[in-house]
Amino acid sequence: MIAVLALMLFYRPRYVHSAAVPQNSTDRLALIDFKQAITGDPREFFNSWNNSVDYCNWNGVTCSKTHLGRVRELNLAGQSLEGRISPSLGNLTLLKILDLASNSLSGQLPDLNRLRKLQILVLKFNNLQGLAPNALKNCSSLKLLNIGGNMLAGSIPPELGFLYNLSALNLASNSFTGVIPSSLGNITQLEYLFLYNNQLEGNIPTELGQSAKLFQLNLGENRLSGSIPTTLLNHSSLAVLDVNTNFLLMELPSTIGNTLPRLYGLGLNNNMFQRQIPASLGNSSNLSIILLTSNNFTGQVPSSLGNLSLLQRLELSDNQLQGAIP
């Protein structure tokens, strides 16, 4: 009996497959640290994170096929986890995908600078409060960064402009203040930029128009002023331009429908746009949604809008328009 007890005390099962799979204890220690910083796990997601299971088989962990024992993907989305994100995640240097979306993680996003292979980082819908300017500076492989729906405050770090390979950047529904950094225009691969529902102010930087692949731009529900720069009104790839609920004051250029040939959705509602609705909009044949409510548009609604065969929503109320709607 005592012998059995002694065996149980000293026998610590480690890796079930330790003979077959070379283990990288750096990655294992980083995961254990990560787990320790989680204070709430109501769905018992971490039950499998124990010594009798190879860490490559822990819930949400996927290891590399070519680099045995190296963690390639961590997916813990929607598990109602509470606590902080351990800085040890920054040691998982082969991580490609990190998805912690829809939990209740709080505190600061730790320094993930060593994750040079990281391509997808999804932290949306948590309670994160801080994003240090250099936390992601060296993550040059990042293609998708989504930190929407957190409690991030302060200004948007201009350093995000170093993430040249980003195709989607979502910082929407936070509490960011200050101006939109012009450096975001340096992200040449950028297709989706979502900054809506923050407290951003100042002008929309002209530089945003430098991102030649820009496809959807949503800057709605902020405190932006001035006008939409011509670089954005003259952008051959732009399909969605949504700047609703700001303090933009301008007259739309008469050529807008010709210089935005791919436009699908135009959201200008709740601003101070003035004068005519340009007839050229009738030339932007993909236009399906036009929201112009609550501005100061005057004159006639151009009959050319009747040429838009894909039009689903046309909202014009609360302006100073005259005549019939085509």
Ligand X SMILES: *[C@@H]1O[C@H](CO)[C@@H](O)[C@H](O)[C@H]1NC(C)=O
79 burial via Cβ count (<10 Å: 0-12, 13-18, 19+): buried
State the number of binding residues for ligand X (CB under 6 A): 46
Cα separation of 139 and 68, whole Å? 22
- Which of the ranges 36-44, 72-80, 100-108, 272-280 carries the binding residues for ligand X, by CB under 6 A? 272-280
Cα separation of 299 and 219, whole Å? 27
26 binding ligand X? (CB under 6 A): yes
Pick from 17, 36, 80, 164 the residue near ligand X by CB under 6 A: 164
82 binding ligand X? (CB under 6 A): no
- Which of the ranges 45-53, 147-155, 220-228, 311-319 carries the binding residues for ligand X, by CB under 6 A? 45-53
Pick from 104, 127, 140, 216 the residue near ligand X by CB under 6 A: 140
Pick from 46, 162, 192, 196 the residue near ligand X by CB under 6 A: 162
Q: For residue 157, what are the CA distances in angstroms to 128, 254, 318, 326?
A: 15, 35, 37, 45
- Which of the ranges 99-107, 124-132, 212-220, 253-261 carries the binding residues for ligand X, by CB under 6 A? 253-261
DSSP reduced 3-state for 177: strand
Pick from 18, 39, 303, 312 the residue near ligand X by CB under 6 A: 303
> For 125-158, b where at least 16 C-beta lie within 10 A, e where not — what string?
bbebbebeeebbbbbeebebbbbbbbebeeebbe
240 binding ligand X? (CB under 6 A): no
110 and 89 Cβ atoms separated by less than 8 Å: yes
106 binding ligand X? (CB under 6 A): no
Pick from 18, 36, 39, 47 the residue near ligand X by CB under 6 A: 47
Backbone angle region of 138, left / alpha / beta, with phi > 0 → left and psi within -120 to 50 → alpha:
alpha
234 binding ligand X? (CB under 6 A): yes
Minimum distance from residue 164 beta carbon to ligand X (Å): 5
Pick from 77, 97, 179, 272 the residue near ligand X by CB under 6 A: 272
Pick from 106, 203, 296, 300 the residue near ligand X by CB under 6 A: 296
Please spell the DSSP secondary structure of 264-276, one letter per residue: -EEE--SS--EEP
Cα separation of 239 and 245, whole Å? 19
Q: What is the dihedral of CA 46, 49, 50, 52, to 10 degrees?
A: 130
Closer CB to ligand X, 102 or 283, in the complex = 283
Cα separation of 105 and 84, whole Å? 5
300 binding ligand X? (CB under 6 A): no
Residues lying near ligand X in the complex (CB under 6 A) are found at 24-26, 29-30, 33, 47-48, 50, 52-53, 88, 91, 93, 113, 134, 137-138, 140-141, 158, 161-162, 164-165, 183, 186, 230, 234, 258-259, 261-262, 272, 274-275, 279-280, 282-283, 286, 296, 298, 303-304, 307
